[in-house]
Structure 1
Amino acid sequence: MKHDILQAIAAYDQIIIHRHERPDPDAIGSQVGLATLIRERYPEKNVFVVGDEEPSLGFLANMDELDDEKFEGALVIVCDTANEERISDQRYARGDKLVKIDHHPNEEPYGDIVWVDPSASSTSEMIVDLFLAGKEEGYNLSKESALLLYAGIVGDTGRFRYDNTTPKTLRHVALLLEQGIETNDFYSGLHRRELKQTRLEGYILQHFSIIDGCVGVMKLTSELLAEYDVTANESAAFVNSFSDVEGLLTWVFFVEDGETIRVRLRSKGPVINTVAMEHNGGGHPMAAGAKAKSWEETDKIVEKLRRVASDFRR
């Protein structure tokens, strides 16, 4: 698959790279890291990155604004997006050829070339693999691309604390660090918070609940977010804010966002992506997302998590 992707990149002069909506560091890191690698290898090609902007990650990169005609005859690559519904900028289907690069379980295959590796810590780690495969074809790893890919790996491994951090992951990180990247500025940008966000985290730490001593629950209504002047996207930074509480096996954040309640699921052992898939979502066994249509549905999700955690403890 890596060879096929490299061939496709070589064959097209117009390349547009997408990723999922409401991006995290891996979405931005893999998308823009790949774009940077291609631009440096083929400076004569037109390479664009598209999608919704995330202000909290603006220190990493910004998106391009494209007219519809730019998609005609283009190679389109989608990074870090398991299903088509979550692709940011739905014009992805207007290109000539579509490539999917992702590390989530391949529950919804799409594209002409599909490279999915759930054993990878992140899609950014996969892009490092693609770079290594392309070295003989003239690809080089600059500080800029290395920092973006480092950001993606750091984001999806929880700063190398999650069990998706493998020896291969750390070897790739060593390669990125060897390029002389400045990690201090990156971490400063990643962890920078406005006072309003810190206030909200304080509220969360005081008001989250624990069911059966092992399932953590936090519900953030639109009224609460408005009170603290924090967006639904910004609230994602707090999903692990109480994850170190003793006895906690799995936890869930419910965030009201317009007519949808976004569901962020995390686990220290019980498999929770099966619960996510039952509620218009999916993801990894220990980190997944879903959508609920009502607060009554969120109560059903909590009950399913309680059962999953109870079975895990047996």
Structure 2
Amino acid sequence: MNNEIKSKIEKYETIIIHRHVRPDPDAIGAQIGLKKAIQNQYPEKYVYAVGEEEESLRFLGEMDKVEDDMYEGAAVIVCDTANVERISDSRFKRGSYLIKIDHHPNEEPYGDIDWVDPTYSSTCEMIVEWMLQQNWEFDQEIAKLLYAGIVGDTGRFRFDNTTSDTLRRTSVLLEYPFDRNEFYSQLHKKDLRMLRLEGYILQNFKVIEGCVGAMYLTKDILKSFEVTSNESSQFVNLFSDVEGLKTWVFFVEEEDRIRVRLRSKGPTINDIAVDHHGGGHPKASGATAFSWDETDEILEKLIRVSRSS
């Protein structure tokens, strides 16, 4: 599989890399990290990263402007995206060849090649291993980008998806002298809007039956704090250390839907996400609800799995 991906990269002159909407550090890190790795290895190729910008992650890199006709005869790689619905920029279909690289459970296979392996903590960890197998060179910038994704998806190595292999692969990145203090400063910086919303969440989240946490962020609440739906995602684990909590959920209202962020300390929750237009990992998933009644259904399911665990 890995050699096949390399052969396709060698074959195509233009390579366009996508990732999921509302990107996190793993999506951006894998996307731009892979882009720079290909450019370093094949400087004659045209390699682009596309998708909507996320202001809070702009310090990792910016997206490229790609015209429609540039997809003709191009290979497209989609990183860190379990299902087609969540791919940022629908033009991924215009390419001549499609490769999926992802660490989420393969609920929706797509692409001419799909390298999917949930045993990895992150897609960035997969890219590290792939580069090691191909004997590709790392540099400071690539190391920082791939480190960002691993740090993000492991919760700074606190989550149980952190394995000895994860740490071994991360150690390779730390051989390159990027400024980790500056990286963490950029990753975790908060302005006054975010600090005030953080305080609001801590005062208003609910604990149901002692084991399920829930937070409702309506459009009006987000507007009052001048915070976007995507920016609010950094607070999903804000009250996770409450004693007795087994699962928790954030319901974040957007223009035409309600974004659902599900987390767990034990019970499997990704099957709930699949039931509601989403998916993800057994203990960290995302879904979409189209009414507040549907959020009630999701909460009831979360209570049931938490009670039975």
Using the alignment, how far apart are the partners of 2:298 and 2:94 within structure 1? 37
Aligned positions, number: 309
Alpha carbon RMSD of aligned pairs, Å? 0.5
Which residue number corresponds to residue 54 of structure 2?
54
Which residue number corresponds to residue 308 of structure 2?
311
Which residue number corresponds to residue 113 of structure 2?
113
- Is 1:125–2:122 an aligned residue pair? no
1:220-299 → structure 2 map (5 Å cutoff): 220-299=217-296
TM-score, structure 1 as length reference? 0.98
How big is each residue's C-alpha offset from its partner over 1:259-308, in whole Å with a ceiling of 9 and x where there is no partner?
Answer: 10000000000000011111111000000000001111111111100000
Which residue number corresponds to residue 71 of structure 2?
71
SS of the equivalent of 2:59 reads coil
Using the alignment, how far apart are the partners of 1:258 and 1:169 within structure 2? 38
SS of the equivalent of 1:21 reads coil
How big is each residue's C-alpha offset from its partner over 1:183-206, in whole Å with a ceiling of 9 and x where there is no partner?
Answer: 111101100111011000100000
Question: Among residues 164, 167, 175, which one is paired with 1:178 in the alignment?
Answer: 175
How big is each residue's C-alpha offset from its partner over 1:166-223, in whole Å with a ceiling of 9 and x where there is no partner?
Answer: 0000001100001122111110110011101100010000000001101000000000
Which residue number corresponds to residue 209 of structure 1?
206
- Is 1:198–2:195 an aligned residue pair? yes
SS of the equivalent of 1:110 reads coil
Using the alignment, how far apart are the partners of 1:196 and 1:83 within structure 2? 32
1:70-149 → structure 2 map (5 Å cutoff): 70-135=70-135, 139-149=136-146
Using the alignment, how far apart are the partners of 1:215 and 1:264 within structure 2? 13
| Over 2 Å off, 4+ runs | none
SS of the equivalent of 1:85 reads helix
Using the alignment, how far apart are the partners of 2:99 and 2:213 within structure 1? 38
Among all aligned residue pairs of Structure 1 and Structure 2, give the percentage whose two residues are the same amino acid: 62
Which residue number corresponds to residue 12 of structure 1?
12
Q: Mark the runs of 5 or more structure 1 residues left unpaired by the alignment.
A: none
SS of the equivalent of 1:59 reads helix
TM-score, structure 2 as length reference? 0.99
Q: Please state how far the C-alpha of 1:156 moved relative to its aligned partner.
A: 0.3
1:130-169 → structure 2 map (5 Å cutoff): 130-135=130-135, 139-169=136-166
Using the alignment, how far apart are the partners of 1:19 and 1:184 within structure 2? 27
Using the alignment, how far apart are the partners of 2:179 and 2:25 within structure 1? 16
